[in-house]
Structure 1
Amino acid sequence: MTSPLTRPLCVLLVDDNATDRLLAREAFAGYADRASVITCHSGQAALDWMRQPHTRLPDVVLLDINMPGMNGFEVLQAMKADPELRLIPVVMLSTSGDPGDVQEAYTLHASSYLLKSVDFAGFLEQVDHFVAFWCRSRLAHWPE
């Protein structure tokens, strides 16, 4: 069995945009030895997936804010209210740099707020920094 500190980082990306999910899978494919990405198309789908029995919970969630149905803030609030999910770090991912959105994310206990890059090269750089940071930041007590 591998340690949480040496096994690949497990990232859950929650985004309603199919193109963004595809681009994320492509970007994370370059880090297959260090990270894997699971994608969900909606906040409710992500919560349902994480709440399934025997699901290996992600090490970190990348959560889009602007989604139909449950928006990212509602998903974040639900995660922080759930004893099984509350310790999972959540990075809000948005095209909005609105100070109110940033404030709301941190008020709801997001771990970080990441502005989506406008081009793929910029997104690849963001993924590189994201993977490096979260691989270093994982804690030994995170789920197997």
Structure 2
Amino acid sequence: MVQKEVRLGFPAPSSGRLLPQSEMRYGSRMPLLRVLLVDDSPADRFLAQEVFSAHGGTVSLTLTESGDTALAHLNTPDAPLPDVLLLDLNMPGMSGLDVLTEVKQSPTLHHIPVVMLTTSHARLDIEAAYALQASGYLVKSSDFGSFLQQIEAFVTYWSGHLFALPALP
């Protein structure tokens, strides 16, 4: 039986096994923060990639352009799951709320924190996201400096809150 490590900001050995080096932050004993970003905008994905690249040794960023590709990625057998999902709200086809619903209804994915990252300030969107169990809601800053600060705060927060549930039998 495979068991995921319980991660509370430091690697917890499972049956005496330490996290593999590929899951550790460069030059540290801290686990690597795995983020899956889902955004249909190529410009926003590029901007996020630029901002997250400053955390190259501490963050592993995976990018997808739609809800369908994100769910396919998340449901790939034996693929490592992200520690947190950053999800755009307004996407063609499957909306961010649709993806959030699918993730939270899945027995294998429901434990993954989902943070909405969107331009929408609409109260109804915010309430809908939290009603569907979003872990957070970030309104994208319009300028690069502010967006950089948002991502810095996101990485700092989620790096200190890494949790994983035991694998299902």
- TM-score tier by shorter-chain length is over 0.9
TM-score, normalised by the number of residues in structure 2: 0.80
- Give the greater-gyration-radius structure (CA): 2
C-alpha spacing 1:11/1:34, structure 2 compared with 1 (3 Å) = same
1:81 is aligned, of 102, 105, 126, to 105
2:77 is aligned, of 53, 66, 70, to 53
- What is the RMSD of the two structures over their aligned residues, measured on CA atoms? 1.7
For residues 17-68 of structure 1, what are the alpha-carbon distances to aligned partners after superposition, in whole Å with 9 as ceiling and x for unaligned? 0111111111001011211210000001000011011110000000000000
1:128 is aligned, of 152, 156, 166, to 152
Q: 1:2 is matched with which residue?
A: 19
- The gaps in structure 2 that reach 5 residues or longer are 1-17, 24-28
Contact 1:59 1:142 survives alignment (8 Å): no
TM-score, normalised by the number of residues in structure 1: 0.94
Contact 2:111 2:165 survives alignment (8 Å): no
C-alpha spacing 1:142/1:136, structure 2 compared with 1 (3 Å) = farther
Q: Which has the higher helix share?
A: 1
C-alpha distance in 2, partners of 1:49/1:142? 20
Of all paired residues, the percent bearing the same amino acid is 45
C-alpha distance in 2, partners of 1:81/1:57? 16
C-alpha distance in 2, partners of 1:133/1:40? 23
Contact 1:14 1:46 survives alignment (8 Å): yes
Count of aligned pairs? 143
Q: How does 1:1-144 map to 2 (within 5 A)?
A: 1-2=18-19, 6-139=30-163, 141=165
Contact 2:89 2:116 survives alignment (8 Å): yes
- The gaps in structure 1 that reach 5 residues or longer are none
Contact 2:34 2:60 survives alignment (8 Å): yes
Amino acid at match of 2:127: Q
Amino acid at match of 1:105: A
C-alpha spacing 1:142/1:106, structure 2 compared with 1 (3 Å) = farther
C-alpha distance in 1, partners of 2:153/2:19? 24
